[in-house]
Structure 1
Amino acid sequence: MKRWLFVFGIAVMLTLSWVGVAPDAAIAAPEEFDHAATGFLLEDGHAGVSCESCHVNGVFEGTSRRCAACHERGGLINATPKPVNHINTQEDCDACHSNRAWTQLTRMDHGAVIGACESCHNNTIARGKQPTHIQTSQDCEDCHTTTLWTAAVFDHSGISGDCQSCHNGVTTGGKNRSHMATSDACADCHVTSSWGAVSHVDHTAVIGTCASCHNGATAGGKNANHVPTAAACDDCHVTTAWTPATFSHDGVSSACVTCHNGAIESGKNTAHIATNNECDDCHTTTAWSPVTRVDHADVVGSCFSCHNGTVAAGKNAGHLQSGNTCDDCHTTTAWVPANFSHANITGNCASCHNGTTAAGKNATHLSTTNACEDCHAVTAWTPAVRVDHAEVIGTCFSCHNGTVAEGKTANHIQSGNTCDDCHTTTAWAPANFDHTGISGSCASCHNGTDAAGKGVTHIATTNTCEDCHTVVAWTPVARVDHADVVGDCFSCHNGTTATGKNASHIQSTNACDDCHTTAAWSPTHFDHTAVTGACFSCHNGVNATGKNATHIQSSSTCDDCHTTTAWIPATFDHAGVTGSCSTCHNGTNATGKNATHISTTNTCEDCHGVTSWSPATSVDHADVIGTCYSCHNGTVASGKTPNHLATSNTCDDCHITTTWSDVRFDHTGVSTTCTSCHNGTTATGKNIGHVQTSADCDGCHTTVAWVPANFDHALVIGSCSSCHNGVAAAGKPASHFVTSVECDNCHTVTSWSFTTYDHASANYPGDHRASVTCLSCHTANSQSISWRYPSYAPDCAGCHANEYESGEHRKTQTPATYYTVGELRDCAGSCHTYTDSSLTTVSSYRNSHHRVSDGEFH
């Protein structure tokens, strides 16, 4: 009701305000006038307003369309102004209000509102917090936005109460209907940054069974591979930890492996007996171990995989040492008796075959200390696989008599020796023959029939065996009688029959006896003619005399300088010399420096070559003592050329010893002008793109650095743009005003900015009081202006015609006439008020508004 009374009051005020508008002189409006043609429709609130309410003093043309032109305090037109408690904003009225009703807003643009939310939303100007609003000291915009009041992004940081003081289902959302039944406070499980997922659940305060929440909807329930059971969760699990669980098998009806399969629950461990039995064939649900029984019929694997002393009982301490598996001897039905296999017995035979545990040696056995297995095998006791004579007691003949064991053969050498004089028990042949009792010659036996004769590779000789060999050792021979040897040296000395050339022998195609004799291998008479290797292969100080201690240090081979016919004189080759020149060229061993040599600490080879002493290959100036001119005087070495710059500098002021050209020039001692040298011939001159100027080089440049130059524009010929074109020198930046005017119309050569441009002209007579940028008029950033009202260009009205207030410019008092915008288009025409239409008597003069420094065009 109060709201409608307020609206009604505003309507009455609007009506009274229109009635109160009284023009200076009411002018009858034409009976037929289409106001819509002006572009301002008289509709809604304006429909019933009289013409003179807006067009005061009889002025129709030029009336402002802006709401504020009428609805402002102290204006000529007395329409309802903004109330003093209006929202603080810079928006135009029609941005929010309509002509239909002042109080029915079309929209509310918060973007232009100045001030905090509560400056309006205080329940006086606009709706503020409701009584049920959460108690908080935060600003509205901390949670709400101007585009949408809800939903708000709530910042809990400033809240001092507990969660349920707001989250009670009234002030804001509380627990939903599907929430767990619990007496916990919200903050026990939830956090303010995110309602879900919860940080933890305190089960101690939860009311109800596990399944009331853990049903797969409210919270996770049994997973798909859970053990099939009707037991309640807490029969096995606890709220403090889901695993491990205490399981009761009482209600389980399926086989053990249904659950104990390694997926749902633990199955057989890796050390379990390999078997096809069901779990409950051996185990019980009350205790997994010990087992009730073992069914060996379904056990897969060897006996030892269980009977290893850990899983089940293994071999006892008195068991035979054997690598056999249990079932090689035993069976699962009865442990004894066993079927014995010797294959993997690790103990010796006597440990069992001792006459007590098993049969031992019989009475006729050889007298020996050998163990059974030294001669016998476990597969068959006889015949023996071998006899170890080392442990047999007695002579060979006590067995080897042709009866007990094999004796001498019919073709045995006649000898009174016992068997072991020649033979050994390890091998019958070959025998170690004792020649002591032999009376014949070697050849009587060593004839290739009775005993081995000469080998096919034997030296061709007429000597008897004993001339060279002894009966103690056939090899090496005691001596060789070369007198009876048939053939050349190499037929024997070939590295196979007899020693040949050793690895370090001189490379030569000579026959042995060209240098050596049979009487003495060395010394020899050496013939170099047939030698194929290098001198040093022999003359190395080991095989033959090498270099003496004072020999010149050189990597050359001997024959580079020496010959085989005469060691000296030598032809010297410097190529392989490793020492320095002065090692030899010291004035004693060889010629040294002469008296006129340049004073230097350089070594000879720094400048000279070994093929020719002069001219020198290079000069290392680093170690030369003295000034450049002491050598470079035109006599000892080249001096200045005729076209050298006239200067008193020393050579090294500009030149360096590594290269004569690419000098660093010291201009200090130069007495001429720059162009006397920098003329493009003697030294680099101006380049083709150089600025056209008659100034000397040093007018801009310095001898220290050519660039940057301190540029003197005074002598430059040509316009600014001839250089400042973006190539020769920096040109206009991309954002520069588009104009063909030369640079120096605005800029100076002393400073590019600030400019000397004076905008004052007939078109722009001084600075405007309002803030106007160049682009406000020069919208294209060029000299041309896009006039808002071209018919009035280039005068003030060209831009401000719409702001002209005719009522402010009375022309005559009687009758009351007013100047048109065209008459005062340039703000400079006569705008005096005359007494009558004769325009002869001025009743008042122009007022202070006639200045462009004023804020508006009147």
Structure 2
Amino acid sequence: MARPTLLQQVMRCGLCLLLWLGLALATGAQAQGIESIMAPGKLSQSHAKYEDDCKQCHVKLDRKAQDGLCMDCHKPVGADMRGKTGFHGHLEQPLTCKSCHTEHKGRDLKSAEFDQKKFDHSKTDYALKGKHEKAACDKCHVAGKKYREAAQDCNSCHKKDDKHKGALGPKCAECHTESDWKEAKFDHETTKFPLTGKHVDAKCTDCHKDNVYKDTPKNCYACHRKIDDQKGHKGLYGEKCETCHGTKAWKPSSFNHDNDTKFDLRGKHRTTACKDCHSGNLYKEKPKQECYACHKKDDKHKESLGTNCAACHTEKNWKEVAKFDHEKTQFPLAGKHAKVECKECHKSVMYKEAPKECIGCHLKDDKHKANLGKECGDCHNAQDWKNTEGRFKHDRTKFQLRNAHAAPSVKCSACHKDLTSFRNTPLPCLACHKKDDKHETQLGDKCETCHNDKAWKGTSFNHGKSRFPLTGRHIVAECKTCHLTLRYKDAARDCYSCHKKEDKHKLVFGVNCESCHSTRAWTTWTFDHDTRTKYRLESSHAKVACAACHKQAAPAGKDAAPLGTSCVACHRSDDVHSGGFGPRCDQCHQVESWKKVKSRVGQGADK
């Protein structure tokens, strides 16, 4: 039998196909297009509604367009791919959708299933750390919801573990870690109650009852009231425990009666219990400071000698009384006073009428003409009126003499021009040191800000309090590097004034050097063009030197001369079309390479 020719074989196949189509139509099959009939298999249940509409997923003669159609339907995935977020956005590019998701394999196909044990969670926006790495998927991903819809805040999963019942808000990560929920890392220094002394070792529950952390009292008495009631003062001394006690140790008391009150404790007063004098509430009933207030019961004289017990009695021993001695009066006799006859001061037998002030007897000897008042004893002594050495306590004035100011380094006459000008002497340093002011009064009269009284040439200026705190390499720079003269405020605060010679850009990028450079090292610089400008650098643009685009000097006050954002602004010389296709070069050319032209639908591959 003769073998059929090629034409006969084609005609037979075509005839068979027509017969098959006719049979399908004749048997009542649903009306379908030729593409649907020739499909390789049934679509999955989720795509079944598109079984007769192939163009929903396919573009004729263009397989690459299929991914775009997928992302048109699956918009969240498309957004991840474009924004490089989520699992799909972190995949190594380029990948097509069908690389992982197949179709036409029947209604029961689960095209989105994956091996949970091998899934790399670090490719998502939520990397697993600590105990999260061992947690089962269904602990966070609720059934019936997409994996991407899982909450990323702690409280969504750990609400039942919140012993604070929402009082501290939902930001669990501020105290807890992924390694152990019960392990807290809270820094108490960030609160209004930093922990010091024994508070550091105290348990949280000692102050925060029932895990309630907000509105915890900050005063000592709130926590230590029990101690005050059982072993302490029972509320008599008020609630300001810190006045006497410290956090280092509750005992002993740190209260210093001599420094913290107006009543110095001497003699037996020093060993007397507080309650012996302070019998009532300290902050409501302050005891008087006169001896008689406490020693009335000890007064055997029944007030016949007045209430000034100290005239005869001492703090050393109440019962120890010396025979009357002028040393025990308000006017002890000292020096030449001890040799003066009584009648020289006491003009009558009314001894109390005798003047106690020096000026009462020494008015004729006052060379200061009452300028210093009546307290002659502050400077003069009873041994020799003219000898004042060591008597006057300058520390009792508003100007203490220390270091180089102290005698014998400086004489009184250096500041006080004569015997009548001791008062109202100017206190500012500049009053005496004007000739030493090399800053020409530019820094004001607060010389002590930098200079000290040990030596005028020694300085201790804190640059951190100035308008230009020192950081990085500025800390080790010598003052004279920036301050060319002692008129310190004349020094410029902008980088360019000092670093002009380091400007390799020749003012192309302006004078705001700190936009890229830091004080740590001039050669260390960084500028993120994507976040700090409106023009993102992509592909080949990211490798181009700054000077390739920025060639003109920056305008005054600007970081760099403004450039156009259209391609033709830089690539005009590359435009072989002589502007024939307009300034939108990016419609055909790619950022990766100027010579690489984008493909057009229906025109073949890239040229």
Q: TM over 0.5: same fold?
A: no
TM range (shorter): under 0.3
Larger Rg: 1
TM-score, length-scaled by structure 1:
0.18
